Amino acid sequence: MADKILEVKNLKKYFNTPKGLLHAVDGVTFSIERGKTLGVVGESGCGKSTTGRVVLRLLEATDGEILFEGKNIREYGKEQMVKLREEMQIIFQDPYASLNPRMTVSEIIAEPLIIHKKCKSKKELQEKVSELMETVGLSERLTNTYPHELDGGRRQRIGIARALALNPKFIVCDEPVSALDVSIQAQVLNLMKDLQEEF
């Protein structure tokens, strides 16, 4: 029997709108084995991003089950979810909108490590940030630059480094290359494939 990291059963997410109830996600069921990739394909506005966000509980489901490593995380309280955030991460579609423009590259990558108290000293934090930058192919000279000073590919690498910072078991990739130039898309996809194999 395959080791399933995630099972989603009859997932629903409805939104109240002025025109009535919008069925954004309606009865979605799937499972993902550890170390595997599941691609969700559909036209714009069909609920792909919403599904990813509901699975991570960035949005609350209307109904259904989300089993992460066999446990229904819809029943988790706030403290349990904070702990779970270390194991489940997201890479957003638009690297520019998802990065804080007032923070440098190193501050953005360091943020999850600081929030989850993963480093005992400033030196350890700097080393971890450098290691993550190297992992995703970001030059050390970019440490103190800001997102607006970088191209889309480098911005998305920051998003990937931030998602990897806590060494998660599961990552939702919300169209992580759709906002990038075609020439950079292949680089980022190859990077993600390499990272999946490595980790």
Interatomic CA distance for residues 42 and 148, integer angstroms: 31
Average pLDDT score over residue span 104-126: 93
Q: Do 168 and 94 belong together in one domain?
A: yes
**Residue 101: domain span:** 85-199
* Counted domains in the chain: 2
Same domain, 61 and 90: no
Lowest-confidence range among 68-82, 90-104, 132-146?
90-104
64 shares its domain with 127: no
pLDDT at 109: 95
20, with CB counted inside 10 A (0-12, 13-18, 19+), is exposed
Residues ≥6 apart with Cβ < 8 Å to 32: 4, 5, 6, 38, 170
Q: Quick one: 56 and 2 in the same domain?
A: yes
* 75: DSSP letter: G
- What residues does 17 pair with on adjacent strands? 20
- Statement: residue 123 has pLDDT above 90: yes
